Structures are given as C-alpha cells and as structure tokens.
Amino acid sequence: MQTKKHFNAQAVIPLITGVVALVFLVTGFVNYGFWSDQPTPGFFPIIIAAILLITSAVCLYQSLTAKNAKDVIYCKGEFLVILGAAGIILATYLIGLVPSCLIYIFLWLKFVEHAPWKVIITVEIIIAAIALGVFTGWLQVRFPTGLLGGLLA
Amino acid sequence: MENFASLLAGFSVALAPENIGACLLGAVLGLIVGAMPGIGSLAGCALLLPLTYKFNPTTAIIMLGALYYSNMYGGSFSAILLNIPGDSPAICTALDGYPLAKKGQPGKALMTANLASFLGGTIGILILTITASGLAKIGLMFGYAEMTLILLIAMTSISWLIGENPIKGIVITMLGILVASIGMDTLSGAPRYDFGSMYLLGGVPFTPFIIGCVGFAQVIKLINEREADEKKRASEDSRQTKLSIRGSILSFHEFRRILPPILRSGVSGTFIGVLPGSGATTGAMMGYAIQKKFKSEVPMGTGAVEGIAASEAANNAAAAGAFAPLLALGIPGSGTGAVLLGGLMMWGLNPGPLLFDTNPEFCWGLISSMYVANVFTLLVAILVIPFLIKILSVPVKYMIPIITCVCIVGAYSTSNSMYGVLIMFLSGIVGYLLDKNGFSTAPMLLAFVLAPMLEKNMRKAFIASQGSLEIFVDSPLKLVLLAVFLVLVLTPVVKSILRKAKAKKAQA
C-alpha cells in the first residue's frame, strides 16, 4: 500500500475534455443542426462544446507551459478501491449484488485492512441490514441475483 | 403578515406524522453523516438520496432538507473532539472548538456549537420566511432572457469561486452541461447524443451520477486519509474524554458571551447563503472573520466560545439562506443545493418563481419543516453528546468498504438496473480523476442540474427575438445582470493576468 506511482495527468484531462468537445461539436452539427428559423436541438450543445474546446486548449497550454507544476501522485490503494467496486459489479452478474457486496467486505477487511473478526462481522451485519432491511424490505428494491440465482430458481 | 399566515398553514403539512418521522430520520442521519470526517454534506445528501424514494415529494424533500441542515450541526462534532472538521463549513469551528476541548471543556464547546447552530439557523429560517415569497414575486417579472442571465451568473459564480484556476472552472462547468445534454432535447423531446445506445436515450441518470461524482469519488480519496486518521487517533486523548449533558450546560455568563456573535453571524450568514456560489463554508469563514474584529474574553483561536458561536451560527444561517434562491428562483447556491434541486426535479417539482403559486403547501411545508428540523436536530444533538466519542471512534478505514457498498446498492435502487451502477462507477472514477487534477466537481454538478433550465430559457429567448442578441440588453435590469455576469467572468481572468505580470516583474 505504500508504493506510490508518479504519473502526471495534468495535460491528459484537458486533452480528453477537448476530444469530448470535438465529438459533441461534430455530432451536433452533423446530426442535430444549429439553426433552422429557430434554434435546433444542436444549438445549445454546439455553443457549449465550442467553449469547452477553446477552454480545454487554453487549459492544455497552461498545463504544458506551467513551471513548477506539481506531479499528480496516484496511490496503489486508490486503484484498489476502484478494483474492489469493479469486482462487485462483475461478480453481481454471477452471484448477485448482495452476496457480492458481502464477499467484498469480507475480503477487504480481512486482507486489506487486517481487521479483527469482531469488526468484520459487525460491518457485514450493518451492510446486510442496509441492503436487505432498508432497500429490500422497506424500499422494495429487488436486487439482481445473477446467474447463480437463476440456476437456483 | 401574509407570509406568517402561509407559514402556519405550512406547519399543518410539516407536523403530519409521516413528515415528522422523515424530519427526525433526516436529522439523525444528517448528524451521523456530518460527524463522520471526510464524508461531508454533499456526499451525505447524495448517498441518502435513494432513501427518500419511498416518500411523496413533500416528505422526501423535508427529509433531505433536515439531513442537509443537520449535517451542519454534525460537522462541528469531529472538529471539536478530533480537530478533524466533518465538513468544510466546520473548519473555523475547529480553530476554537478543539483548543477548548483540549482545555478540558469539550462539553461546553459542543453545547456552544449546538446552541449557536440552533439560533443561527433560526435567524436564517426567519429571514427565509420573510424574503422567499418576495423573491419569487420578483422572479415572476423575469422573462426568458433575464432567467438566462441569472442562470449564467449562478453557474459562473460557483465555478469562479471554487479553485484558483478560472479556466478549469469553465472547463468543468461546460463538461457538466454537455453530460446533461445527453438524452432528450429539452424543447422538442427529440433524441440527442444517444450514440445509438438505448440506455443513453434516457440521459445520464441524476442520482447514480451524483452518487458517483461525490460519494464514490470521495471513497477513493478516503484511502489516503486513513493513515493520517490513524495517526491522529493514536495521538488523541479524546478516547479518555468523558462527556455528559450535565457537564455541557452553559452558564448565564457564557450564554451572554455567545449571543452577540450568534446574532451577527446569523444575519450575515443568511445573506451570504443567499448569494449563488458562496454557501455555508464562506458564511462560516466570514462569520469568524467578523468576530475577530470584536472583543472576546479569551483570544480567538485559543478556545474562545465566541469563535465557535460565530462560525456555527453563520454556517447554519447560510444553509437556511441558501433555500431562498433555490425555492424562489430555482438557483442552488452550492453543490449540495444542486443535489436538493435535482431531488425536487426528480419528484416532478419545478423550483422557480411559480413554485410558490403552484405548490404553496410544498414551499411553506418545507420552510416550516425547517423550524421543526432545527428543534429536532438540537434535541438529538444534545442527547447524543454522551455517545459522541463512540460514534466518532469509527476509523476511516472501516468506512471505505461500507460507503462503497452503499454507493453501489444506492445507485442500483434508484435505477433498478446495473446501468445505474455503471454510471455511478464511471462518474466516480471521472470525479476522482478531475478532483485529483485540481478540477472541483461541485461546478459540474451545479451545471448538470441547471443546464436543462438554461437551455430552455436561452432557446426560448432566441425564438422570441428571432435570433437577435438584443433581447439580452434591451432593459436596464438585463444590462445590470449582464454587467454582473461579465464582472464575474472577467475578474478572475484579469486577476490571473495581473498575478503573472507581478511575478514576471519580481523575477526581473
């Protein structure tokens, strides 16, 4: 968890927003138009995309020419959180959402945080109470059961 | 007088059993979420938004309003006991609250914060009661062009105030508007920017997007705070602190000390809350700064109850004041306001000048419920004092998997499909990357919520004027609004140029 990777993405964000702006600009002009006696569906997004394109270019220039710019540091732990959530989403298609969440909590607390069993059991009970008690019981949400649920049914 | 008669009618709505229950639930949850360091009112409101789906619109927004409001109370708890502000408006509270707690008077600090929050909030709600419908009446005089200019001012003011780079503010605001334009055209209902996906045809769902941008993005960031949190907790002697309601009661002399700052901050905080883009944090800082100009028995920053009172009264008053432009003009003053506005729209209510005419029972029900919420929150906040050490002893590292699961479960429940979860996940990663690179996500949320209104008004203005830009400058009011907008746009740019010129001169 201590290892830190240096990767400066200061210029990447304006580059991506610039591409997004370009896509909206071109799609807007080609598919939705700008003006036909009155503003068409593309009118507003095209103006916004044009402003975004210009400001992204300025932002890109700023980040490329900035002196003493601080490097953005990404930690391994941050990717672990994203990976954990992605794991829940993928596992939901196999074993359902609630079991995926409970397994994720067990794995996270046991192997990442090295939490004692008392904490693990307490957190499992809290999440089960939130998911099943509040959402399923009270809000009547039917969570996906995945392939396993389908097989069992 | 008319307003107070409407307020009394509003109490009949607010005091309905289900609304009292929702108000109490919102107050309790808001206190807990607000007390948890690192979550904050924005993420708290976003995470708890799915819970309100069970209720009718009035009850739902009453609960959300109570939650937002009690968050301000909760933020002070960890600021006082752990020196970790639960939310940004509590930063100034920590300056005096923590030193007072270290002096062995944590109970007094907590009680001061609670009383100041209550009284400051009451001042804010009173001013809201008097001004909101008047503001709505002024709003009724606005046409499409005026509304376009006001919405532009609202969007730019928050983008400009957050962050030091105005260009980044514009980029993030424009991105929020473009995300909002996916789905259906606001005027014709024609599909737009769906890129052939049937999911995108319905647009980007509001709640999963918000949960991701603020909730999940916050969890990713929390991982870096856990080590600091552990160290801080290890060095704290707060675990040994014993808290009781009895030991927290203020003497008459202490109450006299905190009353003037509360009154001053209550009034100033409300007016700051009304301004778009300022919000509770600015209110609290301003309240604290004003108090520094007055005498206090103990020097400020060393445990002065006056400092705690000024900061807490101002942030609660600002939280109440922010409801005035939100209800009367449909303009949220902050990111949390944007979540509330999105919630209102989700339930089919259109905040704006007409809301007081079309849904008076809702508007006045909400305002009167704020009085009720204020009382409930004070009671809960006082009763919870003996248990605060236990509540605050939950380490950040255990919160990470809990909030991750709540984000996923909440996102699914609001969309009833994994599409909502995917939107939450992706917007969380985007929100985290943006924040990491110095792009604050609050302006994006505000833009996302206000974009449909801005587009509708702007296009209708152009239709009315047959494409002429003159419609935006043909009256003194429009000229004033345009001038305000231009000042907001140009000030940071000019400032930035001057700063660079100064730096160059210094180098030479």
> Comparing B166 with A24, which gets the higher pLDDT?
A24
Chain B residues within 8 A of A28 when measuring between CB atoms: 193
Q: Is the pLDDT of residue A3 over 50?
A: no
Given an 8 Å threshold on Cβ–Cβ distance, is B421 in contact with A21? Answer: no
Q: What's the gap between Cα B121 and its chain centre?
A: 14
> Comparing B236 with A35, which gets the higher pLDDT?
A35
Instruction: Grade residue B163 by pLDDT with cuts at 50, 70 and 90.
Output: low
Same domain assignment for residues A86 and A119? yes
Shortest Cα distance from B406 to chain A (angstroms)?
8
Residue A94 CA to residue A144 CA, distance in Å, equals 10
Given an 8 Å threshold on Cβ–Cβ distance, is B413 in contact with A44? Answer: no
pLDDT of residue B225: 76
Chain A residues within 8 A of B197 when measuring between CB atoms: none
| B436-470 tens-digit pLDDT | 888 888 888 888 988 988 999 999 999 999 989 99
Question: So what's the ipTM on this one?
Answer: 0.92
Chain B residues within 8 A of A119 when measuring between CB atoms: 398
| Out of B171, B187, B458, closest to residue A56 by CB | B171
pLDDT of residue B77: 84
Q: Which residue in chain B is spatially nearest to A107 when comparing CA positions? A: B401
Average pLDDT value over all residues in chain A: 88
pLDDT of residue B416: 86
The region of weakest confidence among B51-65, B158-172, B212-226, B404-418 is B158-172
pLDDT of residue A1: 46
Same domain assignment for residues A21 and A48? yes
Burial class (CB in 10 A: 0-12, 13-18, 19+), B162: buried
Same domain assignment for residues A13 and A42? yes
**Side chain identity, residue B156:** T
Residue B496 CA to residue B508 CA, distance in Å, equals 18
The region of weakest confidence among A2-11, A63-72, A122-131 is A2-11
Q: Is the pLDDT of residue A5 over 50?
A: no
Question: Which tokens belong to B489?
Answer: 């746009």
Given an 8 Å threshold on Cβ–Cβ distance, is B401 in contact with A126? Answer: no
Chain B residues within 8 A of A58 when measuring between CB atoms: 167
Q: Which residue in chain A is spatially nearest to B180 when comparing CA positions? A: A45
Q: What percent of chain B has pLDDT over 90?
A: 24
3-state secondary structure of A36: strand
Same domain assignment for residues A83 and A41? no
Chain B residues within 8 A of A59 when measuring between CB atoms: 165, 167-168, 171
pLDDT of residue A40: 93
* pTM of the shown model: 0.83
Preferred mutation among A3, A12, A44, A103 to probe B, highest tally of B CBs within 10 A = A44
Per-residue CA distances from B456 to A48, A71, B371 (Å): 14, 41, 35
| Out of A21, A72, A77, closest to residue B437 by CB | A72
CB atoms within 10 A of CB A151: 8
> Comparing B408 with B245, which gets the higher pLDDT?
B408
> Comparing A44 with B247, which gets the higher pLDDT?
A44
Given an 8 Å threshold on Cβ–Cβ distance, is A39 in contact with B404? Answer: no
Residue with tokens 């008690």: A133
pLDDT of residue A8: 53
Average pLDDT value over all residues in chain B: 84
For A80, the domain range is: 75-152
> Comparing B423 with B489, which gets the higher pLDDT?
B423
| Out of B178, B401, B433, closest to residue A104 by CB | B401
| B327-366 tens-digit pLDDT | 888 887 677 788 888 888 877 777 777 888 888 888 888 8
pLDDT of residue B233: 65
Preferred mutation among A2, A6, A13, A56 to probe B, highest tally of B CBs within 10 A = A13
Given an 8 Å threshold on Cβ–Cβ distance, is B432 in contact with A134? Answer: no
Packed helices B144-161 and B476-507: angle between N→C axes, nearest 10 degrees: 20
Chain A residues within 8 A of B428 when measuring between CB atoms: 82, 85
Q: Is the pLDDT of residue B378 over 60?
A: yes
Same domain assignment for residues A22 and A55? yes
Question: Would you state the torsion angle of the CA atoms of residues B385, B386, B389, B390, taken in this order, to the nearest 10 degrees?
Answer: -120
Chain A residues within 8 A of B174 when measuring between CB atoms: 17, 21, 48-49, 51-52, 55
pLDDT of residue B10: 85
Chain A residues within 8 A of B167 when measuring between CB atoms: 55, 58-59, 62
| B176-220 tens-digit pLDDT | 999 999 998 888 888 999 998 889 988 999 889 988 998 899 889
Residue with tokens 């409300």: B270
Instruction: Grade residue B277 by pLDDT with cuts at 50, 70 and 90.
Output: low
3-state secondary structure of B87: coil
Beta bridge partners of A38: A36
Q: Are B215 and B404 in contact (CB under 8 A)?
A: no
Residue B41: phi and psi, rounded to 5, are -70, -35
pLDDT of residue B386: 80
Mean pLDDT of A12-28: 95
Same domain assignment for residues A57 and A113? no
Of A70, A101, A118, the one marking the end of a domain is: A70
Q: Are B39 and B88 in contact (CB under 8 A)?
A: no
| One-character DSSP codes across B295-336 | --SS-TTSS-HHHHHHHHHHHHHHHHHTHHHHHHTS--SSHH
Same domain assignment for residues A10 and A53? yes
pLDDT of residue B297: 86
Of A70, A94, A112, the one marking the end of a domain is: A70
Same domain assignment for residues A116 and A143? yes
| Out of A17, A35, A135, closest to residue B409 by CB | A135
3-state secondary structure of B84: coil
| Out of B171, B429, B437, closest to residue A10 by CB | B437
pLDDT of residue B45: 80
Q: Are B34 and B75 in contact (CB under 8 A)?
A: yes
> Comparing B434 with B504, which gets the higher pLDDT?
B434
> Comparing A83 with B272, which gets the higher pLDDT?
A83
Instruction: Grade residue A2 by pLDDT with cuts at 50, 70 and 90.
Output: very low
Q: How many Cβ pairs within 8 Å bridge chains A and B?
A: 170
Instruction: Grade residue B292 by pLDDT with cuts at 50, 70 and 90.
Output: confident
Same domain assignment for residues A90 and A61? no
Residue B187 CA to residue A56 CA, distance in Å, equals 28
pLDDT of residue A138: 79
Q: Is the pLDDT of residue A73 over 60?
A: yes
Q: Are B322 and B334 in contact (CB under 8 A)?
A: yes
Mean pLDDT of B395-407: 88
Chain B residues within 8 A of A39 when measuring between CB atoms: 458-459, 462-463
Count of domains observed in chain A: 2
Q: Which residue in chain B is spatially nearest to A66 when comparing CA positions? A: B500
Per-residue CA distances from B402 to A125, B297, B406 (Å): 11, 44, 6
Given an 8 Å threshold on Cβ–Cβ distance, is B421 in contact with A89? Answer: yes
Of A35, A70, A105, the one marking the end of a domain is: A70
Residue A11 CA to residue A8 CA, distance in Å, equals 8
> Comparing B116 with B136, which gets the higher pLDDT?
B116
Q: Are B30 and B69 in contact (CB under 8 A)?
A: yes
| B22-63 tens-digit pLDDT | 888 888 888 887 777 666 677 778 887 887 777 888 888 888
> Comparing A69 with B377, which gets the higher pLDDT?
B377
Same domain assignment for residues A32 and A93? no
Chain B residues within 8 A of A13 when measuring between CB atoms: 433-434, 437, 439
Same domain assignment for residues A126 and A87? yes
- Where in B145-187 does DSSP place strands (E)? 183-184
Mean pLDDT of B360-383: 88
pLDDT of residue A6: 47
Residue B215: phi and psi, rounded to 5, are -75, -60
| B167-186 tens-digit pLDDT | 888 899 999 999 999 998 88
| Out of B178, B408, B439, closest to residue A45 by CB | B178
Q: Is the pLDDT of residue A101 over 90?
A: yes
Same domain assignment for residues A66 and A80? no
